[in-house]
Amino acid sequence: MAAEIDPGSAQGGASGAPPFGSEQRDAMEQLSQNLARAAFTAQSAMLQAVSRQPGQALKLNTDPMGVAPAMAEVMGGLASHPDRLMRAQAELFAGYMNLWSAATLRALGERTAPVASPDKSDKRFKDPDWSANPVFDILKQSYLLTSGWMNALVGGVEDVDPEAKRRVEFFTKMLTDAFSPSNFLLSNPAALKAALESKGESLVRGAEQFARDMERGGGQLAISLTDVDRFEVGVDVATAPGKVVYRNRLFELLQFSPTTETVHEVPLLIFPPWINKYYILDLRPENSMIRWLTGQGFTVFVTAWVNPGPELKDVTFEDYVREGAFEAIAQVKRQCATEQVHAVGYCIGGTMLSTALALMAQEGEGSVASVTFFAAQQDFSEAGDLLLFTNDAAMAGIESRMDAAGGVLPGMAMADTFNMLRANDLIWSPFVNNYLLGKAPTAFDLLFWNSDQTRMPKTLHLFYLENFYRQNRLAKGELELAGRRLSLGDVTVPVFAQAAEADHIAPYRSVYRGLRLFGGPVTFMLAGSGHIAGVVNPPGAQKYQHWIHRDEHLPDTVEAWRANADEFPGSWWPRWMDWLKPQSGGQVPARDPAAGPLEVLGDAPGEYVKVRS
Q: Report the alpha-carbon distance of residue 14 to residue 23 in Å, rounded.
A: 19
Q: Which residues pair with 498 in a beta bridge?
A: 374, 525
Is the pLDDT reported for residue 3 higher than 50? no
H helices present in 267-421, as ranges: 289-295, 317-319, 327-336, 348-363, 392-404, 411-420
Same domain, 124 and 264: no
In the sheet that 545-549 helps form, which strands lie side by side, from edge to edge?
565-569, 545-549, 522-527, 495-500, 368-374, 341-346, 268-271, 300-305, 251-256, 242-247, 602-603
pLDDT digits (tens, 9 = 90+) for 475-508: 999 999 999 999 999 999 999 999 999 999 999 9
Is 11 inside any structural domain? no
Is 105 inside any structural domain? yes
Is the pLDDT reported for residue 146 higher than 80? yes
pLDDT digits (tens, 9 = 90+) for 353-406: 999 999 999 999 999 999 999 999 999 999 988 898 898 988 998 999 999 999
What pLDDT score was predicted for residue 512? Answer: 97
H helices present in 13-161, as ranges: 22-52, 56-59, 67-79, 82-107, 129-132, 134-155
Q: What is the dihedral of CA 288, 294, 296, 301, to 10 degrees?
A: 100
Same domain, 592 and 582: yes
What pLDDT score was predicted for residue 400? Answer: 92
pLDDT digits (tens, 9 = 90+) for 357-366: 999 999 999 9
Domain that holds residue 438: 199-230+411-451
- Do the strands 368-374 and 300-305 form a parallel or antiparallel pair, or are they unpaired? unpaired
Same domain, 90 and 193: yes
Is 394 inside any structural domain? no
Is 343 inside any structural domain? yes
Is 192 inside any structural domain? yes
- Do the strands 268-271 and 341-346 form a parallel or antiparallel pair, or are they unpaired? parallel
Mean pLDDT lowest among 117-121, 180-184, 240-244: 117-121
What pLDDT score was predicted for residue 80? Answer: 86
Task: Among 142, 176, 197, give the residue marking a domain's end.
Answer: 197
User: Do 274 and 305 meet the contact criterion of CB atoms below 8 Å apart?
Assistant: yes
**DSSP assigned state of 258:** P
**DSSP assigned state of 383:** -
What pLDDT score was predicted for residue 2? Answer: 39
Same domain, 590 and 505: yes
Q: Which residues are catalytic?
A: 347
Closest Cα partner for 193 from 129, 131, 124, 137?
A: 129
Same domain, 254 and 267: yes
Task: Among 451, 480, 499, give the residue marking a domain's end.
Answer: 451
User: Do 491 and 519 meet the contact criterion of CB atoms below 8 Å apart?
Assistant: yes
User: Do 410 and 401 meet the contact criterion of CB atoms below 8 Å apart?
Assistant: yes
Same domain, 480 and 446: no
Is the pLDDT reported for residue 161 higher than 60? yes
Same domain, 464 and 584: yes
Is the pLDDT reported for residue 48 higher than 70? yes
Is the pLDDT reported for residue 58 higher than 60? no
Same domain, 492 and 357: yes
Is 257 inside any structural domain? yes
Is the pLDDT reported for residue 15 higher than 50? no
Residue type (1 letter), 409: L
pLDDT digits (tens, 9 = 90+) for 59-106: 556 677 778 888 898 888 888 888 888 998 999 999 999 999 999 999
Is 400 inside any structural domain? no
**What is the residue-wise DSSP string for 450-493?**
HH----EEHHHHHHHIIIIIIT-HHHHT--EETTEE--GGG--S
Same domain, 86 and 167: yes
Confidence at 421, pLDDT banded by 50, 70, 90: confident
Same domain, 207 and 193: no
Structural domains of the chain, count: 3
Is the pLDDT reported for residue 465 higher than 80? yes
Is 28 inside any structural domain? no
Confidence at 52, pLDDT banded by 50, 70, 90: low
Which pTM was predicted?
0.90
**What is the residue-wise DSSP string for 25-51?**
HHHHHHHHHHHHHHHHHHHHHHHHHHH
Residue 575 belongs to domain with CATH number: 3.40.50.1820
Please report, for residues 554, 559, 560, the alpha-carbon distance to residue 564 in angstroms, rounded to integers and kept in the order given.
Answer: 11, 9, 7
Same domain, 142 and 206: no
User: Do 486 and 403 meet the contact criterion of CB atoms below 8 Å apart?
Assistant: no
User: Do 352 and 492 meet the contact criterion of CB atoms below 8 Å apart?
Assistant: no
Q: Collapse the DSSP code of 288 into the 3-class scheme (helix H, G, I; strand E, B; otherwise coil) and give the result.
A: coil
Same domain, 494 and 553: yes
Task: Among 403, 431, 451, give the residue marking a domain's end.
Answer: 451
